[in-house]
Structure 1
């Protein structure tokens, strides 16, 4: 896969990921851990179907048995990401969660620098700082809630960028060498772990049939399909670059909320969004120009 194609795939991935907020606004009865359980369950079903089609059931089962600690640790990271985001959203404001998630590129860059010995160009550091500042501008005026629940929700949200940074670094490590490891089954492990952990906390289940339908769409269309695409693109892109592109999820999320829930973005959201887009565009255009990548 060329660099330019991998970037295009990651942009599409973030577009799909960003639908979680607007879809969750359509739910009638499902709340908190039940939302996470249904989404993770359908995510697992979708992933099993996709991976069985791509690899074959026997090969998939074999990889799960022999994948080793790296595969299962990546699966644990996916589980934390799947679970922490939805749980945090139910405990604090969306703005709080998104601002916390904006730290993911910095976490990833630092891990890549110290564990993979990647020498990050100055443009990437500048883009990380600018993108983080842009998102802070977008939501800084809306961050609220100094109460115990909001503080706890923010701490839970920290699990997303932390697990994301570790995961992209693991995938980068596994994708290089003489025999690159197949890390796609880690997604299935993560989905099943998330569903298993949240089911006891979600019981008794109260979701309506409409809720289950919406959460099925989230599990397959918002998680299973784009996550497979993201892992594929991460084999070509550097881990900090993946994390930086993933910030587009925040911008797309604002657009979905505007179109699907009637939440018009504020002046700060528009200004901060322009900063984020500018940082991403500059970083990617410089990288593509220097590599001379062909699509």
Structure 2
């Protein structure tokens, strides 16, 4: 028993470090977006283009000769995952153009609770008392943030909600179709984003530094973040993945505050704190047998 404890602890440390690095990578989205001059749709398409390349390389490394089979074997669930991931990914970057980074990230943190509600409504998935408490907390937090964003216009409220709802659908699909690999669907979703946005892209709005930032967002923020998640999620329990991933919610607003002086509103901070509390409540709940909370996707 003692002989096996050493390798087990080492794997746990490596898993926690991988998720920590994933959260740090994801947290740079707002920092990168705030440095872009390109139009909003061009930002979405540019990041998706580089992300698709990075994710394709990741799929090739994971699947090797089975890469084509992995894409062709996604089925209807994989196609649905692709569409909703594309919506969530595009809405995420568009939302950053209309509201604070903190508002977007705190809203995104509510996706697992929204997924639990969707699972209950759509497929009669049981919801225990602890999860209901998390749902009520998250709903209150989202309501506070949404009310505080009304003055900024409908896009400041609608886009973060669209992002969160579509990503919640992805979580539901991933949880109930564990035979479908998320990675090919994530790659395909970025290709879909590029195709849909292509007619509205204005390359003239892209400055010289924008290309480097878009590449960093696509390859580093999305590609590298997903690579670390893929490693870490196999080594530690889903609850630990969820809790460590909350670091993104803390670091994302911190980076833009330090770099651009962007201060979240009081409503965003209060609502965000409630949502984070809801995530913690749900994450510390015992995980039912055969179920996992971590997914190989991120917006």
Q: What's the TM-score, normalizing by structure 2?
A: 0.75
Structure-2 residue corresponding to 1:55: 63
What's the counterpart of residue 117 of structure 2? 110
Shift of 1:162: 2.2
Aligned to 2:253: 254
What residue in structure 2 maps to residue 195 of structure 1?
Answer: 194
Return the alpha-carbon distance in structure 1 between the equivalents of residues 79 and 120 of structure 2: 23
Map of 2:71 onto structure 1: 64
CA distance in 1, matches of 2:110, 2:278: 15
> 8 Å contact 2:118–2:169 — kept in the other structure?
yes
Q: In 2, are the aligned partners of 1:165 and 1:243 still within 8 Å (CA)?
A: no
Distance in 2, Cα, partners of 1:221 & 1:82: 15
The count of aligned residue pairs is 276
* Residue-by-residue CA offset, 1:77-124 (whole Å, 9 max, x unaligned): 111111122223335565765575465334311222244543222222
User: What residue is the counterpart of 1:186 in the other structure?
Assistant: 185
Asked if the contact 1:104–1:243 (Cα under 8 Å) also holds between the matched residues in 2, the reply is no
Deviations 1:171-225 (A, max 9, x none): 11121xxxx3323100110011111111211134431221110111111121123
Alignment partner of 1:287: what SS? Answer: coil
1:38 Cα deviation from its structure 2 partner: 0.8
Q: Residue in 2 aligned with 1:211?
A: 210
Q: Does 1:22 align with 2:59?
A: no
Compared CA separation, residues 90 and 262, structure 1 to 2 (3 A): closer
Matched with 1:292 is none
Alignment-derived partner of residue 172 in structure 2: 169
Structure 2: which 5+ runs fail to align?
1-7, 288-299
Contact 2:145 2:267 (C-alpha < 8 Å) held by counterparts: yes
1:117 & 1:258 partners in 2: Cα distance? 42
- Compared CA separation, residues 81 and 247, structure 1 to 2 (3 A): farther
**Alpha-carbon deviation of 1:36?**
0.6
Mean alpha-carbon deviation: is it higher for 279-288 or for 36-45? 279-288
> What residue in structure 1 maps to residue 84 of structure 2?
77
Bigger mean CA offset, 65-74 vs 191-200: 65-74
3-state SS of the aligned residue for 1:144? helix
Uncovered stretches (5+) of structure 1, i.e. residues with no partner: 289-295
Which among 145, 149, 158 is matched to residue 161 of structure 2?
158
1:153 CA displacement: 5.5
Equivalent residue runs for 1:34-49 within 5 Å: 34-49=42-57
* Secondary structure at the counterpart of residue 198 of structure 2: helix
Residues in 1 aligned to 2:103 and 2:263: alpha-carbon distance in whole angstroms: 18
State the TM-score, normalizing by the size of structure 1: 0.75
Q: 1:216-269, CA deviations, whole angstroms, 9 ceiling, x for partnerless residues?
A: 11111211232355577499749xx98898766443322222233233456665
Conserved 8 A contact 1:96-1:144: no
Is the CA contact 2:30–2:96 (under 8 Å) kept in the aligned structure 1? no
